[in-house]
Structure 1
Amino acid sequence: MLPTAEEKERQKVGEAQQQVQQAQQRAERAESQLQLAVKNLLQSGMTVEQVANITGLSDSEIAALDI
C-alpha cells in the first residue's frame, strides 16, 4: 500500500529533525575542537591577543571559554 500524504509529511518532518540534530552535533564538535585549540595555544605560551588573531575569536570570547 502507498503511504498517505500525512505519512509522507511525517517522514519529511522526521528526516528534517534528524538533519537538525546532526547539524547540532557537528556544531558541538566544532566548538569542542576550537576550545581545545585555544587551550593548547594558550598553554604553548601564546598571548590571548595572538590566539584571538589565529582563531578569529575576541579576547572576551577567549576569556569566556574558562580555560
Structure 2
Amino acid sequence: MKLQELENEADEGKADLYYADESHVCTEGYVPYGWQFPGEGVSVPSQKGDRLNIFGMTARDNRYEGFTSRESIN
C-alpha cells in the first residue's frame, strides 16, 4: 500500500497512522575524523559503554507514543 493511500485511510478514520523512527545514545566515545601533524600518531582510547535505545512514533495530529530500552530494538 502506498503512503498516500494510508494517509487517506487515516483521514477517513479507517486507520491510525503513525510515523516512526529509532535512535540511540551511548557513553562510548565516537570520533569519526580528526587532524594531526604529519608523522604524529593520534589515538582516542575508548571502552564499551552503556547504550539507551529510543523508539518513537508520532501521528499527524501530534499524538506521540514511544519508549526506551537497553535491549536491541528489532
Higher strand share: 2
Higher helix share: 1
Which bracket does the TM-score occupy, shorter chain normalised?
Answer: under 0.3
TM-score, normalised with respect to structure 2:
0.21
TM-score, normalised with respect to structure 1:
0.22
